[in-house]
Amino acid sequence: MKKVSIIGATGYVGIELMRLLHQHSEVKIKDLISKSSAGQRLTDLYPQFRGSELNNYQLKAMEDFQAEASDLIFTALPHGVSQNIVGELSGKGAKIIDLSGDFRYHDLDIYEEWYGVKHKHPELAAEAAYGLVELNREQIKKADLVANPGCYVTASLLGILPMLSFSKADLSSIIIDAKSGVSGAGRSLKENLLFTETHNSMKAYSPAVHRHSSEIEYIANQFLKGEYDSDLKTFNPADISTGADRAQILFTPHLVPIKRGILATIYLNLKESSSEAEILELFQQAYNEEEFVQVLADQLPEIKNVAGSNFAQIGFKYDQRTARLIIVSVIDNMLKGAAGQAVQNMNLIFGYPENTGLKATALFP
């Protein structure tokens, strides 16, 4: 039985991690760390854990935490803060899965430009494994530090990765229009996220400058360079024209008045005519052995069919008239986009079946 701890335990992602981990058959939660709620009982903040093994847990302050007593630590903290904590934890024997943006880039010039924060631990960023399992399974298994991907990024990359090595795809034409539920903004109190501000409304925000734009584009181009020992069957470096097919991605996120879920609609031009059968084969080759990615052949996915689960669903429509491909990718932002993906990474690190603790279906209706 492995011992795992959570730093940043009382945010939305931390709570989802607890919910998954306390039902996991192979791990035991060791310590729960919270800056804002140290010393309080977990069940006083989150009564849903009464009667569970977490019933008597008291939240700890960071200074009282002994990292050496854990086999793995999840850090669910804001960017900038997380890199300092991970720097303190590194070398103390525990594996680390970080859910911030601090270790997702090996190129720290990109990180510092988009996040506006100086990176203090370039040596850790250089060794961190990018935690999208379907892309980087073999590196994750061996990693001491895993950088869990962003939620928008997960939905977007799962949708576009099978197309990146498709010789007919125009990689300069990718447009991602993505919608997220309010939980994606975190638990802190913000006026623009109040019920009366979001209910019966919808808005775009940070078009072209959202931080996840850089992550989607960076990982896509690292993939094209052969950075990952990928299981994706469609990737063949010999199919890539050197320098000519660098992906350029325009990304616009939207806030929609639901609690959880992401729907990404992706538009991609094709340089040559194709067919729905040919494109379906690409997606099936990429994901036919992936338990948590479901390719829909005859319908488009909806958030309600994945909310509460670790599954992603992908569908598409090819418009022959305009030679454009429309891909729709949906995930639960709190699960496959955060906590569920982190547990999937943990399972890989410890050699457990990837679906351990993650078999729940969607909460429908």
Active site amino acids: 151
| Token pair in block for residue 358 | 């993650």
Q: Tell me the backbone φ, ψ of residue 330, rounded to 5 degrees.
A: -130, 145
Indicate the length of the chain as a whole number: 365
328 Cβ neighbours under 8 A, 6+ residues apart? 159, 263, 264, 265, 266, 300, 301, 314, 315, 316
Q: Compute CA distances 74 → 9, 13, 98, 184, 319, whole Å.
A: 9, 10, 6, 18, 43
Q: Which residues pair with 325 in a beta bridge?
A: 268, 318
Which burial class, exposed, middle or buried, applies to 290 when counting CB atoms under 10 A from its CB (0-12, 13-18, 19+)?
middle
Q: Which bin fits 293, alpha (ψ -120 to 50), beta or left (φ > 0)?
A: beta
